[in-house]
Amino acid sequence: MGRPGTSEPRDRQLNVGLTATEYEGVVRRAEAIGMRPVHFGRALLLGKNDASMNKGEPTSNNISRLLHAQLVRLGNNLNQMVRHLHQTGDPLPADLEPLLTDIRRIIAHGVPR
């Protein structure tokens, strides 16, 4: 199911040229509060400051969301690797077990060391 429509769709674009340094600064600031750079830029252009942008979602929720996304990516990569190993009959790499132990601990306790 797609995202519900809005009464006022965003159907106009404003392209802004930035230097590499400016762009990296925007990306860093957006990531620091858990936003995508495009949403962060829109908020800045429309006059919202960093504090008001962060009021809707506490930093801990942003960190949890980002941690979850990274764990999903990691799980996907592990799944692809194990599928390949099963298809080829190759043994598990020796350095995989410590990684699996860490992942199991994170899942069990929810706190990385």
Q: Is the pLDDT of residue 85 over 60?
A: yes
Q: Is the pLDDT of residue 35 over 70?
A: yes
Q: Is the pLDDT of residue 65 over 60?
A: yes
d(CA 50, CA 55): 9
Predicted confidence band at 113 (pLDDT cuts at 50, 70, 90)? very low
Residue pair 62/33 in contact (Cβ under 8 Å)? The answer is yes
Q: Is the pLDDT of residue 66 over 50?
A: yes
Q: Is the pLDDT of residue 77 over 80?
A: yes
What pLDDT does 1 receive? 57
Within 10 angstroms of residue 6's Cβ, the number of other Cβ atoms is 7
Residue pair 59/34 in contact (Cβ under 8 Å)? The answer is yes
What pLDDT does 98 receive? 87
Ordered DSSP codes for 84-108: HHHHHTPPPPTTHHHHHHHHHHHHH
d(CA 78, CA 85): 10
Predicted confidence band at 20 (pLDDT cuts at 50, 70, 90)? very high
